[in-house]
Copies of this chain bind each other. A is one copy, B any other.
Amino acid sequence: MKIYDWHIAPNPRRLHIYLAEKGLKIPLEEVGGEDLKLKPSYVAKYPHAMVPMLELDDGTCIGEAMAICRYFEELHPNPPLMGTDAKDKACVEMWEKRANEEGMLAASELFRNTHPAFAERGLPGSAEPIKQVPELVERARARMDRFYRKFDAQLANNEFVAGSRYTVADATTLCAVDFGKWSEMEIPTDCKCLRRWHDAVSARPSAKA
């Protein structure tokens, strides 16, 4: 098996963190180009044109970071990073989804609608050009602010995003916070619980995977 990777990109980073927390090493192939675009040979192979993607030995291509994590979680359940029992699994999935839709997608909306290299790539995964929408920039900044504050409140009562244990919800939240920095967004100074958590998870070896 092999993971098609763009090492600097936020979505693949969720998977790198997951694999490091699991202690798994999977061969990687870099498919990001120096022009900040996916290599044409990769897009021809995988027209969904997203990373990461796990190719199994039987040729099955599994895209979407959390779907890839699910694959490994089923085969290597320990340490559990996607929950333990029914309630815990549901809570991890809920917080991971919030971190993705309210954090990652907001940071992506901000970045893609401002960075000059993405002038024709306002959304990921499209072969057709998608123009930037300048009206989205301030909306995305406000989305990020709501994201910080929602997660700050959750972390006031929990050591980690989905409770007392490190999970994929922490991996996605860390990637979202750090993706925001690409657009000069920082955790507000009054979000002390989110800052405490960010310092703690950033100090884990997996944060540098």
The proximity string for A residues 47-84 relative to B, scoring 1 for CB distances below 8 Å and 0 otherwise, is 01000001010001011101110111011000000000
A128 to B48, CA, bound (A): 34
**Would you give the shortest CB distance from A72 to chain B, in whole angstroms?**
8
Judge whether A19 is part of the interface by a CB distance below 8 angstroms: no
Contact of A94 among B63, B90, B123, B139 (CB under 8 A): B63
Judge whether A126 is part of the interface by a CB distance below 8 angstroms: yes
Q: Within residues 157 to 201 of chain A, which ones have a CB less than 8 A from any CB in chain B?
A: none
The 7 closest A-B pairs by CB, nearest first: A74-B86, A67-B94, A71-B90, A67-B93, A64-B94, A67-B90, A64-B97
Q: Is A68 in contact with B86, judged by CB distance below 8 angstroms?
A: no
Judge whether A45 is part of the interface by a CB distance below 8 angstroms: no
Q: Is A87 in contact with B60, judged by CB distance below 8 angstroms?
A: yes
Judge whether A22 is part of the interface by a CB distance below 8 angstroms: no
A60 to B146, CA, bound (A): 22
Q: Is B86 in contact with A64, judged by CB distance below 8 angstroms?
A: no
